[in-house]
Structure 1
Amino acid sequence: MFLENANPLVDEMIQILNPEGEVVKPEWMPELSKEMLLKMYKTMRLSRIIDEKTLQYQRQGRMLTYAPNLGQEAAQVGSAAAIRQSDWVAPSFRELGVWLYKGAPLYNVFLYWFGNELGMKMPEEVRILPVSIPIASQMQHAAGLAYATKLKGEDDVTIAYVGDGGTSQGDFHEALNFASVKNTPNVFVIQNNQFAISTRRAIQSKAKTMAQKAIGYGIPGIQVDGNDIFAMYAVTKEAVERARNGEGPTLIEAYTYRLGAHTTSDDPTVYRDESEVEEWRKKDPIDRLRIYLFNQGFWSEAEEEAFVNEQSEFVKQTFEAVEQSGLTPLEDVFDYVYAEKTPILETQYQERKAFYAKEGK
């Protein structure tokens, strides 16, 4: 319905739920049960609670640098809800909503941001690759993983996430080209939050839309209102089914906005005005879904308050458990780079070990 006639050269963005919480395209509205709608909303709301509390922990010196997801919850949860449990996810570092919806334990998420890479060792049934910090490198991982499932005759799909800045990296283009040529079961989602740290989207690419980048690789490209969870779900669902049926990859641009800082090391007031942020707050993805649920009689103010209180306590207890887990063992920093430590790594390890011994650590 969406992809067959999609033309990213035309200035059209798919939207079903507007900022006022109204369904403006009922003919496009996906079939979602009350239970699934509430799961999607609760995941988005939990993501926001985690972000807010984690920012406090980081400012208190209890957490390392953290990348908040404020404003991007619908782009993440809407797309994650459209894949099945056996499908693979190749994330960047700002996909909290995806991790939560797929079943990643919050303990693991906190452990990772606490500085312990074991946080990215997911349970067997949670098919999420570790965070890939080099920008857009996860796109190649996703293309390779999808190619592997195709060669094995499996019907799993791999969905990958990248920011608008990542589209300027070679890895992004190499992945799209490979996926296109090999007709792999991939869905690539660009979370266009308008900034690559402090670099505005307009400086990043002269293309009218990020979705247009699909044209050069002969695959469908489509721009979606990334703050509309219904549009994200519906378009991703179609792209996933297309990939699973052997029709190849799709590129989705989720047009959204990063309401918070790039990371806790960033000061966004240096490169953007608060008035711009306030305009985007009116398009908050959580607010518009909550209004819709209220109007449908699926959710209430009392349920909202109870949920926030309950989940705030859950987040607090989980983080405190991570705090009590201790620091990452020194050996873990060196033992898992290669199968066997190289002479240089061994020298570095012994030097650091001696330093800690001298400092009494």
Structure 2
Amino acid sequence: MAKGQPPARDGRDDMAPEPEFVQLLTPEGERVEHPEYSVDFSDEEYRGLYRDLVVVRKLDTEATALQRQGELGLWASLLGQEAAQVGSGRALRTQDMAFPTYREHGVLYCRGIDPIMPLGLFRGVDQGAWDPIKHKFNMYTIVIGAQTLHAVGYAMGINLDGRIGGATPTAKRATAGGNGAGLDGDSGDEAVIAYFGDGASSQGDVNEAFIWAGVFHAPIVFFCQNNQYAISAPLERQTRVPLYQRAAGFGFPGVRVDGNDVLAAYAVTRTALDNARHGQGPTLVEAYTYRMGAHTTSDDPTRYRIASEVESWQAKDPILRVRRFLTNQGIADEAFFGEVDEQAAREAVHLRERVLSMPEPDPLSMFDNVYPNGSPLIDEERARHTEYLSSFAEGAHR
């Protein structure tokens, strides 16, 4: 049994030491055992997880660069949170439904969604163009914490439809993103996962979602990526107890996991989803991780945190620890790592090219898809906007 113990940030005497968390892979790349959680991956699946982590980080880095060059209006980086997202994303079964914030690019990738999709949103050419039902991945939510209520409502619907507890047909073995790491379910029952950050945990919507989920025994996993800051507000300015312990007050279990350990993130999420799927209700998972970069590209983290803190977390880098593990176990060699780096670079270049070639949207397209069967009000607004746009064309000929 191995667990980590992150220290309190500000060293105040009245701050209780942080409790231990579930860990299966140390920062040095050593596999450790835990009495409740485990993984049993093949060498190919371990290599697949590493590939996911590297590609997801490279695409995220490219998106940040695109924003800095004026090609995106904004970007919310996941730098440092790759293990929490890839681990939890690969733990999902095909039938499970995910409700993201605006930072779950790694989960989106694991669900098999084209990584160009969120960039269209942040470039302002669409409002998110993937099919939530097809991919079982809801649209990005900008309003902090609102997606947790949407997720609970969806999960309550699963209960009402009887799609939990073995009531649905057996599902075939499949993977969400195709790398082989992780959908080993034996049931077609469904579960829901809702992502949010430590800052969102202070929002009323999130606490209301906890109440509804607990009271109605909803099959949902609340996955909190505790990256230590709500923009510039550190964790100790938001809570006096570890976030996962809040679950007890709402009547369901909570667990803290090393959010920089992709294996532990997978194992804990898989167990929580299985419990939900089998009719055991909600779980709060707190992935204890760190946002290595800015909150978004409009943020300057040097104004509220010190360099030594960032450096201490860089030593716990989620990609480096998997690379060390693969090397120590003889599962991968330098040729493999080089091939993964080359693949990630190719995908990043391809992503950049596609972003730069995105067509400007037709202004009238904003009225499409507001209502499935149209609306007299939308028709009137479209007509007025058409007339407004036409006025510029008429003026150009005068």
TM over 0.5: yes
Q: Which residue of 2 aligns with 1:241?
A: 274
Aligned residues of 2:144 and 2:200 also touching (Cα < 8 A) = yes
Scaled by the length of structure 2, the TM-score of the pair is: 0.82
Shift of 1:333: 2.4
Does 1:70 find its partner at 2:79? yes
Q: Which residue of 2 aligns with 1:6?
A: none
Shift of 1:128: 0.3
Of 15, 20, 28 in structure 2, the residue corresponding to residue 20 of structure 1 is: 28
Please give the residue correspondences for 1:195-206 in structure 2 after superposition, counting only pairs within 5 Å.
195-206=229-240
Cα separation, partners in 2 of 1:348 and 1:39, compared to 1, 3 Å: farther
Does 1:176 find its partner at 2:210? yes
| Stretches of structure 2 lacking an aligned partner (at least 5 in a row) | 2-16, 164-188
Q: % of aligned pairs identical?
A: 41
Of 87, 90, 102 in structure 1, the residue corresponding to residue 99 of structure 2 is: 90
Q: Which residue of 2 aligns with 1:226?
A: 259
Cα separation, partners in 2 of 1:343 and 1:29, compared to 1, 3 Å: closer
RMSD: 2.3
Q: Report the AA paired with residue 25 of structure 2.
A: L
In 1, the alpha carbon distance for the partners of 2:69 and 2:281 equals 47
SS at match of 1:89: strand
Cα separation, partners in 2 of 1:283 and 1:53, compared to 1, 3 Å: same
In 1, the alpha carbon distance for the partners of 2:128 and 2:211 equals 32
Shift of 1:132: 0.9
Cα separation, partners in 2 of 1:112 and 1:83, compared to 1, 3 Å: same
In 1, the alpha carbon distance for the partners of 2:201 and 2:102 equals 15
Q: Say which one has the larger Rg.
A: 2
Aligned residues of 1:71 and 1:284 also touching (Cα < 8 A) = yes
Q: Which residue of 1 aligns with 2:334?
A: 301
In 2, the alpha carbon distance for the partners of 1:355 and 1:313 equals 45
In 2, the alpha carbon distance for the partners of 1:243 and 1:344 equals 46
In 2, the alpha carbon distance for the partners of 1:209 and 1:292 equals 29
| Stretches of structure 1 lacking an aligned partner (at least 5 in a row) | 2-8
Please give the residue correspondences for 1:1-361 in structure 2 after superposition, counting only pairs within 5 Å.
11-25=19-33, 28-117=37-126, 119-122=128-131, 125-154=134-163, 155-206=189-240, 208-337=241-370, 339-340=374-375, 341-342=377-378, 345-346=381-382, 349-350=385-386, 353=389, 357=393
Q: Report the AA paired with residue 353 of structure 1.
A: L
Query: Which structure shows the bigger proportion of residues in helix conformation?
Result: 1
Shift of 1:111: 2.1
In 2, the alpha carbon distance for the partners of 1:235 and 1:337 equals 38
How many residue pairs were aligned? 352
Range moving further from structure 2, 268-277 or 117-126: 117-126
Shift of 1:122: 2.9
Q: Report the AA paired with residue 78 of structure 2.
A: N
In 2, the alpha carbon distance for the partners of 1:213 and 1:356 equals 56
SS at match of 1:189: strand
In 2, the alpha carbon distance for the partners of 1:216 and 1:289 equals 36
In 2, the alpha carbon distance for the partners of 1:33 and 1:279 equals 31
Scaled by the length of structure 1, the TM-score of the pair is: 0.91
Residues 58-110 of structure 1: CA distance to partner in whole angstroms, max 9, x if unpaired?
Answer: 11112220011000011111111111011100000111111111111123233
Range moving further from structure 2, 64-73 or 34-43: 34-43
